[in-house]
Chains A and B, each alone.
Chain A
Amino acid sequence: MGTSDAEPYLRLVEHDLEALDLITAAARGRTPTVDVSDWQCTLVYYMACIYVKAVGRARGKDLQDHYQLKQWINTTTDLVPITRPYRKLEERSRDARYEGRRFTRPELIETIGWFAQVRDHLVGVLKEEGVEGIPVVDPTRFV
Chain B
Amino acid sequence: MKVLEEVPHFVVSEGSAPRRPPLPPVAVRTLRGSGRWLTPGVHVFQAVAGRPEVRMVVERLEKDRYSVFVVLDSDPEDLLDAIFDAERELYSRSGGLPFDVRVMRPGPAWSPADLRTDSICHFDRADFHGHV
Contacts and interface: CB of A to CB of B under 8 A. Distances in A.
B107 A88 contact: no
A74 interface: yes
Nearest to A86: B84
Nearest to A107: B75
A91 interface: yes
Contacts of A99: 104-107, 110
Contacts of A71: 91, 96
Interface string A58-77: 00000000010011001100
A100 B107 CA distance: 6
Interface in B95-110: 96, 98, 100, 102-107, 109-110
B117 interface: no
A71 B95 CA distance: 11
Nearest to A80: B88
A71 B81 CA distance: 17
Given A84-B81, A99-B107, A101-B107, A74 B102 contact: no
Nearest to B85: A84
B98 A67 contact: yes
A70 B91 contact: yes
B87 interface: yes
Interface of A: 67, 70-71, 74-75, 80, 83-84, 87-88, 91, 94-95, 98-101, 110
